[in-house]
A and B are shown apart, each in its own frame.
Chain A
Amino acid sequence: MLLREVEYARPRTVEEAIDELAANDGARPLAGGQTLINVMKARAASPDVLVDLQDLDDLRGITETGSGGLEIGAMTTYSELTSDAAGARSILGEVASSIADVQVRNRGTIGGNVCSNDPTNHFPPLLVAMNASFTIRGRDGERTVGADDFFLGVYMTAAGPGELLTKITIPAGGQDGFAAVTIGRDGTAIVAAAASLNGGARVAIGCVDAVPVRARAMEEKIGHDFGDENVQAAADGLGATLQPPSDVHASSDYRRALAEVLAVRAVVAARERR
């Protein structure tokens, strides 16, 4: 496929990358390219300038900050997450290893996954459940946005034009779970649910709205009782609070039902993790 004509830059530093992104409204960061190149083929996106982040080593790697806390560079690939580097937060590797296939996992990045914010992506609900925060750099400096404020809409996040997501910070913890019904093994999610138990429970549902939806009523009902019966009871009524889309893969009602089932599975998986 011949892409539309595009300009290209390969900055050596984060500052240069931000300058390039800020200099042109039509500039887009190119991370792993496993979404962007394909949407360019389909002309669903037509950036004027691609800013290739491959040389920005500052954006790579996983650092443990203690008690299960992590700092993950935005350019860390799915394959790197599946290694042992994620330490106590092995959920990250498990989820990464269920994305697409080897080729995509070798190139695709966690930063690209969250910044593209396709509603079917795996990491947005997981990182909302894990209460991650997102460090964004622009010409005016650096800011940190919480998980509940980062995802703004379909394909839209708090990282705006001229800005770059540099790292994702995951607070201390360790009991995380993820459950999804997908189109084929390791395929696109129809509904996904993620849970992280850290004192109380944080539960987030993906594929039911433009952004991950916190199951706040369920979280409150769960309280500190992660037993089967209580979790099951807490999920009752979750589906009715959602307005998921209907499409060829599932009706809205079916997604409501799945959300309840998968939220329970995610919490139980988190509880059982040792």
Chain B
Amino acid sequence: MSTESSKRITLTVNGEEVEYDVEARRLLVHFLRDDLDLTGTHVGCDTGNCGACSVLYNGELVKSCMLLAIQADGATVETVESLAGDGELTPLQQAFSDQHALQCGYCTPGMLMSATALLRANGQPTEEQIRKAIQGNICRCTGYVNIVKAIQAASGQATEG
């Protein structure tokens, strides 16, 4: 077999099949933002720490700055744009609005994807489970309190205060 410095990849992004030529060195996050114009996925730190670039990859939460686009050939990717695909906010997004779970909003796409992954796996998470689930997402505005409340509210659980 041979090696390639670029390749035509086919993958499913937010339910649509896309085909693209990508360089092997291209990070998945740049493919999403710059090639597909899906700029909801943010680049916060570019070192794998902040989680603003989190997406669902074959159903699993990953940081798209620590994956190459070329690896995603054949994969299914869901970005934050998929959440309100039909123009209606998801209950989770509505809860972020209702609970004032964002200030500058930069971390929000990643937070939403982490919370989406959590709620798919566990419909009634405890506060500790919520905090563990968003451990890979850094927010420098909110202190996380309202983010945790929003995720609780989205799961149908009463929030305090």
Interface residues of B in 33-68 (CB under 8 A from A): 46-48, 51, 54, 60-63, 65-68
B119 on the interface (CB 8 Å rule)? no
Q: Are B67 and A37 in contact (CB under 8 A)?
A: yes
Interface-centre pick from B26, B60, B73, B135 (highest chain A CB count, 10 A): B135
| Interface bits B9-32 vs A (CB < 8 Å: 1, else 0) | 000000000000001111100000
Q: Which residue of A lies closest to B66 (CB)?
A: A37
A37 in contact with B68 (CB, 8 Å): yes
Contact A7 B4 (CB under 8 A): yes
**Do A107 and B5 touch (CB < 8 A)?**
no
Find out whether the CB atom of B70 lies under 8 angstroms from the CB atom of A8: yes
Q: How far is the CA of A37 from the CA of B5 in the complex (A)?
A: 16
Known: A9-B3, A20-B1. A103 touches B25 (CB 8 A): no
Query: Shortest 6 CB-CB distances between A and B: which pairs?
Result: A101-B136, A8-B24, A7-B3, A3-B25, A101-B135, A106-B60
Q: Are B3 and A100 in contact (CB under 8 A)?
A: no
Q: Which residues of B contact A (CB under 8 A)?
A: 1-5, 7, 23-27, 46-48, 51, 54, 60-63, 65-68, 70-71, 73, 114, 117, 132-133, 135-137
Q: Chain A residues with Cβ under 8 A from B73's Cβ?
A: 10
Assess whether A1 is in contact with B46, with CB atoms less than 8 Å apart. yes
Q: How far is the CB of A272 from chain B (nearest CB, A)?
A: 23
**CB-CB contacts below 8 Å: A143-195 with B:** 185-186
Q: Which residues of B contact A2 (CB under 8 A)?
A: 25
**Total residue contacts A-B, CB cutoff 8 A:** 97
Ordered by A's residue number, 27 sampled pairs between the chains whose C-beta atoms are within 8 Å are: A1-B46, A5-B5, A6-B5, A7-B3, A7-B24, A8-B5, A8-B68, A8-B70, A9-B1, A10-B71, A30-B71, A33-B71, A34-B48, A34-B66, A37-B27, A38-B47, A49-B3, A50-B24, A101-B51, A101-B135, A101-B136, A102-B61, A102-B136, A103-B61, A106-B60, A106-B61, A107-B66
What does DSSP make chain A's interface, helix, strand, loop or mixed?
A: mixed
Residues of chain A with a CB closer than 8 A to B48's CB: 34, 37-38, 104
Q: Measured between C-beta atoms, what is the minimum distance from B138 to chain A in Å?
A: 10
A94 contacts chain B at the CB level, 8 A cutoff: no
Interface contact A5-B25, CB-CB below 8 Å? yes
On chain B, the residues within 8 Å of A10 by CB distance are 71, 73
Q: Identify the closest chain B residue to A52 (Cβ).
A: B71
Q: When the two chains form the complex, which single residue of A3, A16, A101, A104 contacts B1, counting CB atoms closer than 8 Å?
A: A16
Residue of B nearest to A187 (CB): B135
Of listed B24, B66, B73, residue having the most chain A CB within 10 A: B66
Contacts of B27 in A (CB 8 A): 1, 3, 37
Assess the A33–B67 pair: CB atoms within 8 A.
yes
The verdict on A11 contacting chain B, using a C-beta distance below 8 Å, is: yes
Inter-chain contacts of A52 with B (CB < 8 A): 70-71
- Residues A41 and B47 in contact in the complex (CB < 8 Å), given A6-B24, A102-B114: yes
The A20-68 residues at the B interface (CB cut-off 8 A) are: 20, 24, 30, 33-34, 37-38, 41, 49-50, 52, 54
